[in-house]
Amino acid sequence: MGKYFGTDGFRGEANVKLTVEHAFKVGRYLGWYYGRDHKAKIVIGKDTRRSSYMFEYALAAGITASGADAYLLHVTTTPSVSYVVRTEGFDCGIMISASHNPFYDNGIKVINGQGHKLEAEVEEKIEAYIDGKTEERPLATRENIGRTIDFAAGRNRYIGYLISLPTRSFKNIRVGLDCSNGSSSAIAKSVFDALGAKTYVINNEPDGTNINTNCGSTHIEVLQKFVKEQGLDVGFAYDGDADRCIAVDENGEVVDGDRILYVCGKYMMEQGALKDNTIVTTVMSNLGLYKACDQVGMRYEKTAVGDKYVYENMVKNGYQLGGEQSGHIIFSKHATTGDGILTSLKIMEVMLEKKASLGTLAGEVKIYPQLLQNLRVQDMDATLNHPDVQKAIKEVEERLGTEGRVLVRKSGTEPLLRVMVEALTDELCEESVLHIINAMKSV
């Protein structure tokens, strides 16, 4: 975790924490860094936030001032930038987005030439340059100044790639899409229409300030209501930059990332397409997912929270499927990042091949009630390791037995201890979390 770059790029309120000067310097450094021995090519995508245009121009100015060429995808999704970088020979890609955050926040995500998140050591060099701790980089002059090039064609190639993946038509299937007034507004409907679905779309009229506002994967109740009112077969909700997907079944029930992992993982296992019959999860995945996996013989890895860590585990071990409860799902055969639209296509594949509704497929997973509370403390290690706190955690674990789970961890960004409990009832979750929190407060 650096001064500016966190686990998902440089993010903050536009022109408060993240300014155009920051964006210009990021562009300046990347243009110089990748252009030391050749004419660098950097591709830029953005979501629908008001400030995304401002940052796009600042980044492009910095890149071209350093002598590299900036290619503009315009409004597009994070996974499309990753796809274009690795298939079109770009040195790196930049996505301007704060994902599921409110419209007044924004972010700069840098993707390396392999379509992965930028290496931490390069982020550290960018931070040092922003803070003036390294020498100024030379400005390009005369014919060496870079160009800005319209590259909307790259987005269209990504759309074509998505359309090429399903092996069956979606004809006559009634699909609801909640585009979160974000990046997927420019892509998702055209993909489902091309595949023959009867597509019903909501929240696909971005105005620069309505991204993620009471819509999308973080406000799934909107899609739940829409699916039930319209009598749809399935619904998919994306976040602002469309690297997440949360589904809704035909009954209006939520199918989150854990259930998606189970549905797709079980199907891939049956097809012999899941290495070592293993999916990759994070420590925040629900106990119900693990119990369902045990029932069908599907194995699982557990990583730290963050799709970055999920993907690192997948690459290291050659696993094909991993993700988070929040809907970041990675299909490594097709993508190097979470991809919301791709995830919805893979769910459709399982439904069509198994001739089963999503409610039937996901119904095998019983999601346990879960409660997460944070407590701000002076010294995280001292509090967490205090004998009274450890005793309280052990007492809760013994009480829950195999029908519950306790996870107490330190925040990576704030002086907070996070206490999460899963149990058979909401009441038991509340009692258990309170028991541990009270012990922490008393030390």
Q: Which residues contribute to the annotated binding site for Mg(2+)?
A: 99, 239, 241, 243
AA identity, residue 237: A
- Cβ neighbours of residue 269 closer than 8 Å, sequence gap 6 or more: 277, 296, 297, 298
Which is the catalytic residue, given 51, 52, 80, 99? 99
Distance CA 246, CA 239 (A): 9
Q: What is the DSSP letter of 242?
A: S
Binding residues: 99, 239, 241, 243
The answer to whether the beta carbons of residues 370 and 421 sit under 8 Å apart is: yes
Residue 82 is inside which H or E element, if any? helix 78-87
AA identity, residue 220: I
Tokens of 414: 């704030």
- Residue 279 vs residues 259, 275, 323, 333: alpha-carbon distances, Å: 12, 8, 8, 13
Is residue 319 packed enough to be buried (19+ CB in 10 Å), middle (13-18) or exposed (0-12)? Answer: buried
The answer to whether the beta carbons of residues 300 and 290 sit under 8 Å apart is: yes
DSSP for 267-316, please give it: HHHHTT-SGGGEEEEETTS-HHHHHHHHHHT-EEEEE-SSHHHHHHHHHH
Question: Has 99 been annotated as catalytic?
Answer: yes
The answer to whether the beta carbons of residues 244 and 326 sit under 8 Å apart is: yes
- Return the active site residues: 99
